[in-house]
Every structure is written in structure tokens, then in C-alpha cells.
Structure 1
Amino acid sequence: MPTPLVMLLLFPAIGAVSGLLAGLFGIGGGLVIVPALNAAFVAGLVAVDPAIRMHVAIGSSLAVIVFTALSSVRAHHGYRAVLWPVVLGLAPGIVVGGLLGAALADALATRALELWFGAFVLLMAAQLALAPRVQAAGGAGLPGPGRNLAAGTGIGAVSALAGIGGGIMTVPYLAWHGVPLHQAVGTAAACTLPVALSGAVGYALAGQGAGTPAFSTGYLFWPAVLGIAVAAILTAPLGAQLAHRLPVRQLRILFAVLLVVVAADMLRG
């Protein structure tokens, strides 16, 4: 069990930073939460078995995203930016993928998960720095059930393995099928909920009996989940406001550099 100081300061600090950056750059908080929690576990601020520290970090990140996604979905729905039939079409594959990703993560060693996450973060850093514009592909049309099942499974699996919400993959997929960008973003935000929920359930089930810390459900460490989630929900709107006032392009490059440092640390071990 972490000390009261850790619960009062560390977890809310991680949440505040992840929420601020999520609002500022439109990225999932998992890119911050997973390495921050893993670093806290490595430093001994929270006693977690080294063999499962990445599992706890990723599972807890997905549980946090469940809470933050609820707030995000409400906001996008209020702007009529969510295509609910598309969400329902992607959801079955997402749920299957999320559960499969959690099962695969459970079978992998912590070092393998660190290497995977490090490589994934490098790709995200490149995407953030280059900031390519996502263009709708006009006549492609809305995706059919078969394509949605395949895409949803892939999105869910990758998200569960990395502890992210999956928007970085869902937005380009929808835009390529002709969905206007604001609706692609809103619909992807809604898809984050089944992504995070199925992944979190998968980690909760996979981690049963794994020797996780007190106040855990499988790999979900609730003191971290709740402390991070509350702070992230409070700071995400501030990040969104700052996005309209600060030189976001330059900040994206700086954050990409930070992600490269994080990835290098993960890969170095």
C-alpha cells in the first residue's frame, strides 16, 4: 500500500499532467500515465512486484481512461459529433480486441511489454511531431460490418497492449471512410469507452491471483486509478482552452521530444 503522501501528491500529479496534455494535444492520457506509473513502481514509491509492474501500469491506465472517456463522450455528444451507429458497429470488434490484448499482455513478461510500449511511443512521437493532417477520403463511404469488426479488433488489441484509448487509430480510420473530421474525432472519443472498458475488464480478470498490491482488482490498482482520474478530469478542459492560446505546434514538438526520452528509457530498461 502506498504512503498517504504518494496517494495525495503523486497520483493526482500524474493525472493533472496527463489531463492537461490530453486536452492540449488531443492525445490519450495513457502515453503519460503508463510510463509515470511504471517509473513510480521502479523507484519503489509503490511496492509492486517487478514481474507485473507494467501490467499494473497499463491496466490502471485503461481504468483511468474509462472515467475520462465518460466526460469526453458527454461533451462530444452535446455537440452532435458522435455517429452512434458507427460506434455500435465498431464496438463488438473493440471488445473482442480489448480482451485479447489484455490476455496477450498477461502472457508477456514485463520487459517485453516495456519494449513494446517503447516502440509504440516512438511511433506516437513521430506522429505528434509531424502532425499530419487527416483528410477524409470523399467517396469511400461508411465502413461495413466486416471491416468494422476487423478494424475494431485491431484497435482494441493495440490499445489494450499500450494502455491507451485508441483515438490515434480510430480517427484516421473513420476519416479515410469519408467521415467529417469533427465527427471522426467525436465518434473516436465515444469508441474510447468500449476500448478502455473491455481492456480494463481484461486486465482485472487476467491479474487475479497475480500478487498485486492491496486495493487492486487484478491488475487494476485503485488508489492510482482514482487519484489520477479525478485530477485528469479537472485539468483536461484547461488543456483544451490553452490549445487556443499557446503555440501548440511548437509545444507538440517539445512533447514529442519528451516522448522520445520516455521511449528510450523504456527500451533501455
Structure 2
Amino acid sequence: MNDLLMLIIYCALLGSGVGFLAGLLGIGGGLVIVPILSSILLYLAVLPAEQVVIVAIATSLASILFTSTSSAIAHHKNGNVPWDLAPWVMTGVALGALISGFMASLLPENIVRLVFAVSVTLIAIKMFYSSTKSDSSVERKMPNKGALTFFTTITGGLSAMIGIGGGAVLVPLLTFFSLDMKKAIGCASACGIVIALFGSIGYISSGMSHFSLEDGFAGFVYLPALLGIVCTSWFTAPLGAKATHSLPVPLIKKIFSVLLLVTAISMVVS
């Protein structure tokens, strides 16, 4: 009981920071949740080490369903969700996340860890570089809706595979096609709901043969950790969204890139 209470307290502290970052950057929080929750689960010896990462990823996705909803509502109120693009982007990320979730149990843990670290490191370098360039950079036309859905299917699959809400991959993609940074973050927040929903369905379904509800699991999702994260992240996400509305774009990009690098290193070290 003491260990369970400590787990919930640790996860509540994690959720408070994750919620703010989710609102600020549209990342859903998975980039922070996955390495830190992995460390918490290992420290408290909740389950065997070889199962920690996949449980952390699945639990992260489930928490993002709530955190991204809170964040997206706040971004919508600030006019930062481009609803002309969002349905096509959501369709793509839903397909990718669902496929990735069902494939989860087939992927070796080391491959998942490597994909996570390499992906976010490359994204961080690109984002930091773009934050130092002038606003006079080349304007790129947004692809047609079919191509946009195809690209976002890939980002949705990658996001669900590494347990993130999608912003870490989706925001750089949308800003590459010259969408305003704040609107890209708002769109990513809305799409994080879809990635989390369909990814969680896959992780819950594929994990039913590995864990039982009696032990606190819904498939690969660890429910006590989910409760701890969500009980605070729901309330701090709107604060981050409000900060996005007032902070300059280059500063947001620098924060984004530094966070990605730190979390990539944390995942490799853990």
C-alpha cells in the first residue's frame, strides 16, 4: 500500500509538470512521461524490467487522452486550432496510431527505445536550428489533403509507437509547411486526443494477454499511474496553453528543442 501511494504521489507530481508542457508545446506530455514513468516503475519494482518501457508508453498514451483534451479546449478558446486542416490531420494520425498500437507487443523493447531516442534527437536539432533563422525563410505550400493525411499517418504511427501525443513530430511537420507555430501547437493538441484514443485501444487490446485488471492493468496501461498523472495534468494544461498565446515563437521553439534533447538522453540512459 505504501508503494502504491508513493507511486500515485510521484505520478501526480509528474502530471503537474507534464500538463503545463502539454499546453505550452502541444506535445501531449509523453516525451516527459515515458522516461520518468519508466524510472518510477523500475524504482518501485512494479513489474519486470523488460516490460517497463511498453507499460510506460501505453500509460503515457492513456494519460494524453485527458491532458490533450484539456489543452485542446484551451487552445480552441484562444483561436489556435486550424479546423480547416484538423480533420484531415486527425484522420491520418488515427490510422497511424491504431496500427502502431496493435503492433506494440511485436516490437522489441530495445527497438522502441532506439526509435524514441533517434526520432526526438533529430526533431530537436531541426527545431532548434529553425528557431535561430529569420522569419524570411522560404514559404512552403501545404500539401493537398490526401498527401497531408498520408504524412500524418506516419507521424501518428511514430507518435503512438513511442508513447507521445504527436506534437513532437506533428508540430515540426506543420511548421515545415509554413503553418504558424502557435496554430501548429493547437492542431497538435487536438490531434493528441485522437492519437491517444486509437493508440490506447491498440495497447489495451494487445496487452490483455499479458496483464490482468485485478493487478491494476487495462492491457498494457497501468491504472494507478494513470490516475496519478491525470489528477494534476488536467488542471495545469490550460496554464501552458495560456503561456503559448503570449510567448514569442522563437522562444517556444528553443524550449521545445531543449526538452526533446533532454528526454532523448534520459530514455537512452534509463
1:152 aligns with 2:156: no
CA pair 134-215 structure 1, distance change in 2 beyond 3 A: farther
Q: Partners of 1:229 and 1:65 in 2: how far apart?
A: 8
1:258 aligns with 2:262: yes
1:209 aligns with 2:213: no
Q: CA deviation at 1:199?
A: 0.9
1:134-177 CA-to-partner distances (Å, cap 9, x unmatched) read: 97864614x32320221121011000111111123323333344
TM-score by length of 2: 0.82
Q: Is residue 89–residue 149 contact of structure 1 (8 Å, CA) maintained in 2?
A: yes
Segment of structure 1 superposing worse, 193-202 or 7-16: 7-16
Aligned to 1:116: 115
Aligned to 2:171: 171
Secondary structure (helix, strand or coil) at the match of 2:165 reads coil
Aligned to 2:82: 83
Q: Is residue 160–residue 196 contact of structure 1 (8 Å, CA) maintained in 2?
A: yes
Q: Is residue 204–residue 218 contact of structure 1 (8 Å, CA) maintained in 2?
A: yes
CA pair 127-227 structure 1, distance change in 2 beyond 3 A: farther
Q: Is residue 28–residue 192 contact of structure 2 (8 Å, CA) maintained in 1?
A: no
After superposition, the CA RMSD in angstroms is: 3.2
Secondary structure (helix, strand or coil) at the match of 2:46 reads coil
Q: Partners of 1:59 and 1:2 in 2: how far apart?
A: 24
1:12-66 CA-to-partner distances (Å, cap 9, x unmatched) read: 12212322444455544111110111112222x1422333221111011011111
CA pair 90-240 structure 1, distance change in 2 beyond 3 A: closer
CA pair 25-130 structure 1, distance change in 2 beyond 3 A: farther
Q: Partners of 2:224 and 2:196 in 1: how far apart?
A: 18
Q: CA deviation at 1:205?
A: 1.0
Q: Which runs of 5+ in 2 are unaligned?
A: none
Q: Partners of 1:171 and 1:249 in 2: how far apart?
A: 10
Aligned to 1:105: 104
CA pair 216-188 structure 1, distance change in 2 beyond 3 A: same
1:52-97 CA-to-partner distances (Å, cap 9, x unmatched) read: 2211110110111110111111112212332324221122221211
Q: Is residue 27–residue 168 contact of structure 1 (8 Å, CA) maintained in 2?
A: yes
Q: Partners of 2:28 and 2:120 in 1: how far apart?
A: 12
Secondary structure (helix, strand or coil) at the match of 2:210 reads coil
1:234 aligns with 2:238: no
Q: CA deviation at 1:130?
A: 4.3
Q: Partners of 1:11 and 1:250 in 2: how far apart?
A: 26
